[in-house]
Amino acid sequence: MNNGDNAAGPLLTGRRLVKAHGRTEALRGATVTLDAGEILAVTGPSGSGKSTLAHCLSGITRPDAGSVTYAGQRLEDLTEKRLSELRRTEFGVVFQFGQLIPELTAADNVALPLMLAGAGRAGARAAAGEWLERFGVRGQEESRPGEMSGGQAQRVALARALVTGPRVVFADEPTGALDSLAGEQVMTALVHTARETGTAVLLITHDAQVAAYADREVRLCDGVATPQGVAA
């Protein structure tokens, strides 16, 4: 099976993606590639289709036209079950806020994806502790999201996104709700960990200072990517 490494090509490719929400075309033929281990910033003004692009690339939304290929597999060819498994094992997701389960402690939030994948609670919580340490939030294991600062909660969310060892993390405005210093800590933690683990990151942001953490930038304008997508 082609795992995306032996081919010299990118790990993830969205080709000529089209997606409409009602009568509004969010994507109008956007082409974007992400290499293994690459940190790519997708920037553009509000309404330029950044989030829709991330949703299509991560298999959350099926595009109206165009194709998404991950490690040699076309996502549109996969069954819903297989796609959902792929999302659970290969992809991690971080949003601006609100993705942690408020009733669960930080450790349980991070352990949850492992438990959903079949791990026992004790082992999952031990792994969660290691990831919390990695993101500098050790000591917050028993805190619930409402008891942490925004920056701490976001670092817990990063730990949760990375705990399953995904090959791609989709981060949609991960610092959007944070002040600049907390945002910097979140970005530094994300980038250092991604580089250490060889995880590719698709970083959606409208903030140039956040985009500057990436290796490369693709700019979306009116649903079209410029200028660094692969040739259409």
Partner 1 sequence: MSTRHILLGLLASGPSHGYDLKRRHDARFPQARPLAYGQVYTTLQRLVRDGLAEVGGTDSDGGPERTVYRVTDDGARELSQWAGEIAPPAPFVTNEIFAKVVVSILSDGDPAGYLRAQRAAHMERMRELTAVKTAGDADLATVLSADFALNHLDADLRWMTTTAARLTTLTAEVDTA
What are the strands, taking DSSP E only, across 22-151? 24-34, 39-43, 65-70, 73-74, 91-94
Q: Of 143, 141, 17, which Cα lies nearest the Cα of 74?
A: 17
Q: Mark 4-41 as b/e (b = at least 16 C-beta within 10 Å).
A: beeeeebbbbbbbbbbeeeeebbbbbbbbbbbbbbbbb
Q: Judged by CB under 8 A, does residue 136 bind partner 1?
A: no
Going 188 to 227 to 47 to 84, the CA torsion angle's sign is negative
Contacts to partner 1 from residues 39-68, by CB under 8 A: 45
**Of 54 and 189, which has the nearer Cβ to partner 1?**
189
Q: Judged by CB under 8 A, does residue 213 bind partner 1?
A: yes
Out of 11, 200, 214, 218, name the contact with partner 1 by CB under 8 A: 214
**Of 45 and 123, which has the nearer Cβ to partner 1?**
45
Out of 106, 158, 159, 211, name the contact with partner 1 by CB under 8 A: 211
CA atoms in the 13 A half-sphere facing the CB of 144 = 5
Region near partner 1 per CB under 8 A, out of 19-27, 46-54, 89-97, 203-211: 203-211
Region near partner 1 per CB under 8 A, out of 48-56, 113-121, 148-156, 213-221: 213-221
Q: How far is the CB of 34 from partner 1 (least distance, A)?
A: 17
Q: Judged by CB under 8 A, does residue 208 bind partner 1?
A: yes
Q: How far is the CB of 217 from partner 1 (least distance, A)?
A: 6
Q: Map residue 82 onto helix, strand or coil.
A: helix
Could you say which DSSP state residue 7 is in?
S
How many chain residues bind partner 1 (CB under 8 A)? Answer: 13
E strand or H helix at 182: helix 180-197
In the complex, the residues that contact partner 1 under the rule CB under 8 A are: 45, 188, 191-192, 208-209, 211-215, 217, 227
